[in-house]
Amino acid sequence: MVIRKGNRLSSENGRQFIDRNGLMQVDSNKVTVNSIYIKTASNDAGSNNEFAYSMHIDCKNNLFKDISINRLPQSTAKWQSSKGYLLIKETVRIVCWQR
């Protein structure tokens, strides 16, 4: 289950913060958005629990691809379905509604 509060989405796996002010229209169906994902704390002392994403979202087909993660370009990223990814599915829905 995903709970929405303002620009924050939460699930049992973590929280996603959407930068609604940074939405950029790519074409009539696609949008770029920046977000920060904070994973629920893990037991790994050295693990990174916070990730900055830039993603393209295809609103017509409900697809997404990460174009950068923690400012590292993802040049081989492929379009993916948001099905099964609760936070991403809700992010796609909100971003496409906002555009």
pLDDT tens, residue order, the chain (99 aa) = 666 776 778 888 888 999 988 899 999 999 999 999 998 876 665 567 899 999 999 999 999 999 999 999 999 999 999 888 888 999 999 899 887
At 69, list the tokens: 């993660």
The pLDDT assigned to 58 comes to 97
Domain that holds residue 82: 3-98
In single-letter form, the type of residue at position 21 comes to N
pTM above 0.85, yes or no: no
Q: How far apart are CA 73 and CA 63, in angstroms?
A: 19
Is the alpha carbon torsion for 24, 26, 27, 30 positive or negative?
negative
Domain count, the chain: 1
50-65 residues labelled b (16+ CB within 10 A) or e (exposed): eeebbbbbbbeeebbe
